[in-house]
Structure 1
Amino acid sequence: MKILKYILFATFVCVFCSCGDKKEAKQEPVAVIFDTDVGNDIDDVLALQMLFNYEKEGKINLLGITIGKNNPYSIRYVDGYCKLNGRGDIPLGFAYNGVNPEDNKYLRPALDTVIDGKKILQPQRSISDSLPEGYKLLRKLLASQKDASVVFIAVGPETNLARLLGSQSDEYSDLDGKALVAKKVKLLSVMGGLYGDEFDFPEWNIVQDLKAARKVFSEWPTEIVASGWELGNKLLYPHQSILDDFKSDHPLSVSYKIYEKMPYDRQTWDLTSVLQAIEPDKGYFSLSPKGTIVIDSIGKSVFTAKEDGKHRYMLIEKDSVDFTLKAIVNQVAGKK
């Protein structure tokens, strides 16, 4: 009888431990690389805040950030924002000789803003610190990761991504760029393009570096999930969250208020790509059938359904808008 009890107890312990191991495995942080053009639109800052909150929750490991906007103040802004969130050590890369050199609206004003005798952003790195080329940093980061483990989120012109695909073997890997991506990347979640029949024009991110966009969509070897302009246009970030969830001296709040005259609710284009990439199983969005996305000569995104295709684009039903928008706001604001 004692032997039987011992066997039953041992079996229970083994099953319990096995379940615990499985649960622990599921909680392993997702390795994430973020490519952004901070400074062109305010949604990049909101998306960046989402990622830092995901990291604080232990859901992701933000490996590095590459900047696709060729403006030195983008480096200072991103670096200061990283430092604000306790990640002043995060690797940064820059698209030298890239696109969009313009200051636009909030970069310099936010960096120059002083409240209570202190600048709200206190960057340590600048263009003079010889940051690595974006594609070189990407090669370094990818080479050190497990196979098929990295989730890549790109929310601006695809300059850094195209340069990565065209790169050759180096000190970080014997593989060329395309082979390195195929080996190390699990998914590319990209904000770019326009899908469906509601609108018909070349999307902004795509046309900023059209050659790069065409290369990425034609040559990227892993699965791509695209968030089109029409999706973020249906999900407007409520300005009341900026007023209620952030202190008036927070760089996100300051930058948001500089970008446009308050009150305004901004489209969540970049935020949708972050949400889908990190929490794909929560039902916030649905996906198109598998297929291929081709960028034509003027920048329009043409989707063709194919059973063996590696591309999908994101969709949302009207009755899911409130549910998904709430999730976005909670993640930006760091609410449980």
Structure 2
Amino acid sequence: MARKSYLLFAFLLAMIIRTQAQQQPLPVILDTDIAGDYDDVGALTLLHAFADKGEARILAVISSNAFETTVPTISVLNTYFNKPHIPVGITRKSAPNESCPQQWAQAIIAKYPHNLTGNAQAEEAVALYRRILAQQPDHSVTIITIGFFTNLAGLLASKADAYSALNGRQLVKQKVKQLVSMATSLPVGKTTGREYNVYIDAPAAQTVLAQWETPVTLSPFEVGEQVRTGIPLIKDKSIQHSPVKDAFAIALAKDKDTIGRMSWDQTAVFAAIRGITPWFNSRKLNLRIEKDGSNTLIPGTRFTYLELTGSQAKKLQQEIEKLMHHQPAH
């Protein structure tokens, strides 16, 4: 009888510990190329919504794009969501430097408050990565990349410094739980593909996807392509004075888009925080990144590769759209 009571107690204790662990906010660093497209705005909105719901803790937002609006745009959104003091970083390289053709970034920077008014006010990307990672428990941080691999390649190549005696690869292996990335493409029936986040800085993508030593989940082009969002957001009259709504309204109008923007970046954030099941299907595979930034399917199981059925895409679209309507508490 005593043994049965002990086993029951041990089981209940394990369930309590597991539940508490599941309820802990997931520590996240978001790496974005925000400006070239506006799905990044939706993705950062999702991350703030998850943070406000207690599902995520935003450690830093870092830009892999040197374009002049990136840091002020991040600052606008962090300020809007009542988190202006989240550390912000940016690459100090001159490229990638991808502009904002629809001018939505310039519009929200001019209209909304922000405390970082230029890229020079943000920390250098690799130094910020090293500082943040060194402070975290082992195997705890989820890194979400929704842009280029520029910063992560720099992190892997980094040397020991004042923040950590570990080099970049050692620091990643010790502190990072998983990498979730919006990247790569494999059209149905094909063994090769080419995707923007990879080919813009192909050498960086080659380095990261060959050398990264934690679990990697890829949300490819074909997943986000099926999830269209933004039209209900811009039609929601209850949302006023919102840089998120403004960005989508301006960009959708410029693009003459009446069905909603493809939600590539939002799918990566969603998968990182909410998990794969039941929202996505997945398979294990390996990819080689070619010099031109294309990717080729090769034998192996290094990556978890997300896929969507039509019914999953519809449900995911509804959930992402709802999260994109999230507004800060006032």
Q: Is TM more than 0.5 here?
A: yes
| Corresponding position: 1:179 with 2:179 | no
1:1-336 alignment runs, 5 A limit: 19-97=15-93, 98-105=95-102, 106-113=104-111, 121-127=112-118, 130-197=121-188, 201-244=193-236, 247-261=239-253, 263-289=258-284, 291-306=285-300, 309-334=301-326
Q: Hey, which bits of structure 1, 4+ residues long, moved more than 6 A?
A: 8-15
CA contact (8 A) 1:292 1:304 kept: yes
Shift of 1:84: 0.9
Task: Specify whether residues 66 and 128 from structure 1 end up closer, same or farther in structure 2 by C-alpha distance, changes over 3 A only.
Answer: closer
* Deviation per residue, 1:103-132 (Å, 9 max, x gap): 43211122123xxxxxxx211113375422
Letter in 2 for 1:108: Q
Higher gyration radius (CA): 1
Identity %: 24
Unmatched 5+ residue regions in structure 1? 114-120
Greater shift after overlay, 41-50 or 11-20?
11-20
**CA offsets per residue over residues 220-252 of structure 1, 9 Å max, x none?**
111111111111111111512332276242101
- Contact kept, 8 Å, 1:145 with 1:184, in 2: the verdict is yes
State the shift of 1:270 in Å.
0.3
Which runs of no fewer than 5 residues in structure 2 stay unpaired?
Answer: none
Let me know the Cα RMSD of the aligned residues.
Answer: 2.5
Q: What is the one-letter code of the residue matched to 1:276?
A: A
Alpha-carbon distance, 1:273 to partner = 0.5
Instruction: Tell me by how many angstroms 1:197 deviates.
Output: 3.0
Report the TM-score when normalising by structure 1: 0.88
Could you say if the C-alpha distance between residues 16 and 245 of structure 1 is closer, same or farther in structure 2, counting changes exceeding 3 Å? farther
Total equivalences in the alignment = 321
* Partner AA of 2:213 in structure 1: P
